[in-house]
Amino acid sequence: MSYQVIARKYRPAKFSDITAQEHVTRTIQNSLRMGRVGHGYIFSGLRGVGKTTAARVFAKALNCQKLMEDPEYLQRVTEPCGECESCRDFDSGTSLNISEFDAASNNSVDDIRALRENVRYGPQKGKYRVYIIDEVHMLSIAAFNAFLKTLEEPPPHAIFIFATTELHKIPATIASRCQRFNFKRIPLEDIQKQLQWICDAEHITVEGDALQLIGRKAQGSMRDAQSILDQVIAFSAENDHEGAISYQGVGELLNYIDDDNMFDVTDAVAAQNPAKMLDVAQFVIRNGYDEQDFLEKLVEHLRNFLVVQNLGSTRLVERPDAIRERYLRDAGNFTPFLVMQMVDFLLLTQKELKFQFEYQFRFELALLKLIDIVHIASSAVTPAAVVQPQKKKPLTSH
């Protein structure tokens, strides 16, 4: 049997399986119930958050025979039945009522003319033909203009769904003729749940923290998360961990800069210990980590300090429990003011590093300078009080 990648195998087949985009799916389902379906839609948002998936489910629902013939089912369930002939055609990829058009590679005026020609013909079976135009922002202005007329007077059977990661690049003339849906980044918790569900279905044992690591790396994209999971599964099998996926294994595979490395930095600052800081810098350089990446993680790390300092809890810190405890413990090592100073400095450094040649050397210097920032700021503002632990408020871990 051929191996199917997870992202395809687990593509949701109905609205209710699409995670974290209820604001979109609910509105579409309502319009189906009321029989008020528009002709133009824009689905915008990051890659891998469900735009194509939602467009396909929508197309399937529009042509589902059960939805068309059974008003009670339409009102109560409002999902493609998955069993009628049309739904089966969709599921097997043979339906003629859906066309996917990749604007990144077909973006000439001629391509659009061919599409327009195609749009004129109604469906042989079913009610609607749905055209999904992916990466629509890649169309040239001339191509957009060629399309405008079709969008102004669409044939009754034609529905256009424009998907884009860059909403601002779509001309207002097109955007104003469409209903717009903004797909959200998928929250870490939802990604983690979905990955867990997939692992269960695949009979793969996995540590919850390992999935969280994958989810964090994916930064809100479900497809990225699933691709990483594919990679991790292959890696774990190869390394004969009996297929089980561990936090450490994932960390190794992703060459992940660990939270420990981040705490090493803040520890070195708190201890005012340049030797320790140089060790950290060397560690990053020796292991071939990306310096920019490291600085970005460091900013996120400091952000977690600020969150804990301001909330008095780690409710908004997406980390395993042991790490959360550590944030609670260390939050008192600096004042929020100092943390902000460090953040400002790091953001500036990130920008500057982009134009530097002596990259590694500058990186090392920047880390060393963090110690000074705290030192100078603390002697200028409230001598000594800053580096030493603040009086601790009672903090809770959730």
Ligand X SMILES: Nc1ncnc2c1ncn2[C@@H]1O[C@H](COP(=O)(O)OP(=O)(O)O)[C@@H](O)[C@H]1O
Chain positions contacting ligand X, by CB under 6 A: 7-8, 10-12, 18-21, 47-53, 163, 186, 194, 222-223, 226
By CB atoms closer than 10 A (0-12, 13-18, 19+), residue 33 is: middle
Between residues 230 and 267, which has the closer beta carbon with respect to Mg ion? 230
What is the chain's Cα-based Rg? Answer: 26
- Select from 165, 110, 160 the least CA-distant residue to 135: 165
Q: Cβ 8 to Mg ion, closest distance in Å?
A: 12
Q: Cβ 68 to Zn ion, closest distance in Å?
A: 9
What is the torsion angle, in degrees rounded to the nearest 10, for the CA atoms of residue 15, residue 17, residue 20 and residue 24? 0
Structure tokens at 204: 């793969």
Choose, by CB under 5 A, the member of 24, 87, 151, 170 that binds Zn ion: 87
* Residue 84 interacts with Zn ion (CB under 5 A): yes or no: yes
HEC letters along 314-375:
CCCCCCCHHHHHHHHHHHHHCCHHHHHHHHHHHHHHHHHHCCCCCHHHHHHHHHHHHHHHHH
Q: Cβ 209 to ligand X, closest distance in Å?
A: 22
Partner interacting with residue 42 (select from Zn ion, Mg ion, ligand X, none; CB below 5-8 Å by kind): none
Structure tokens at 18: 């699409």
* Ramachandran bin of 319, using left for φ above 0, alpha for ψ from -120 to 50, beta for the remaining angles: beta
The footprint of Zn ion on residues 255-274 (CB under 5 A) is none
Q: Cβ 55 to Zn ion, closest distance in Å?
A: 17
Partner interacting with residue 11 (select from Zn ion, ligand X, Mg ion, none; CB below 5-8 Å by kind): ligand X
Between residues 186 and 346, which has the closer beta carbon with respect to ligand X? 186
Stretch that binds Zn ion, among 86-94, 273-281, 334-342, 356-364 (CB under 5 A): 86-94
Between residues 72 and 242, which has the closer beta carbon with respect to Zn ion? 72
Partner interacting with residue 84 (select from Mg ion, ligand X, Zn ion, none; CB below 5-8 Å by kind): Zn ion
Q: Cβ 191 to ligand X, closest distance in Å?
A: 9
Partner interacting with residue 64 (select from Zn ion, Mg ion, ligand X, none; CB below 5-8 Å by kind): Zn ion
The footprint of Mg ion on residues 34-93 (CB under 5 A) is 51-52
Three-class DSSP category at 193? helix
Structure tokens at 385: 């009080």
Q: How far is CA 266 from CA 211, 256, 327, 328, 342, in A?
A: 26, 18, 11, 13, 10
Give the H or E element holding residue 130: strand 129-134
Cβ(236)–Cβ(245) below 8 Å: yes
Q: Cβ 6 to Mg ion, closest distance in Å?
A: 16
Stretch that binds Zn ion, among 17-25, 66-74, 150-158, 345-353 (CB under 5 A): 66-74
- Give me the residue label for tokens 């999904």: 132
Q: Cβ 131 to ligand X, closest distance in Å?
A: 15
* Residue 232 interacts with Zn ion (CB under 5 A): yes or no: no
Partner interacting with residue 146 (select from Mg ion, Zn ion, ligand X, none; CB below 5-8 Å by kind): none
Q: Cβ 51 to Mg ion, closest distance in Å?
A: 5
Structure tokens at 97: 């009522």
Interface residues with Mg ion (CB under 5 A) are 51-52
Interface residues with Zn ion (CB under 5 A) are 64, 66, 81, 84, 87
